């Protein structure tokens, strides 16, 4: 069965807290290192780490 997801949406990441969207892995996102967890993506608008990261 074919997926309805477009390749451009797979390259976008979105903050589930405020809705901010930008290219996955782009400079718009903040990357933080969390001890015991590892590297996480953080929203530059609201500082949430509740982010859906698209494939790049």
- The pLDDT score that the predictor gives to residue 31 is 96
Contacts for 53 with CB less than 8 Å, ≥ 6 apart: 13, 24, 41
Average pLDDT over residues 46-53: 96
pLDDT over 60 at 8, yes or no: no
The one-character DSSP state at 33 is E
**Alpha-carbon span 20 to 49, nearest angstrom:** 12
Nearest to 43 by CA among 22, 56, 54: 22
* Average pLDDT of span 8-32: 92
Contact status, residue 46 vs residue 38, Cβ threshold 8 Å: no
**Is the pLDDT confidence value at 30 over 60?**
yes
**pLDDT score, position 56:** 59
């Amino acid at each position: 069965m074919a997926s309805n997801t477009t390749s451009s949406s797979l390259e976008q990441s979105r903050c589930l807290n405020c809705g901010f969207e930008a290219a996955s892995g782009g400079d718009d996102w903040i990357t933080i290192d969390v001890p015991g967890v590892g590297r996480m993506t953080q929203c530059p608008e609201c500082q949430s780490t509740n982010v859906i990261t698209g494939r790049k």
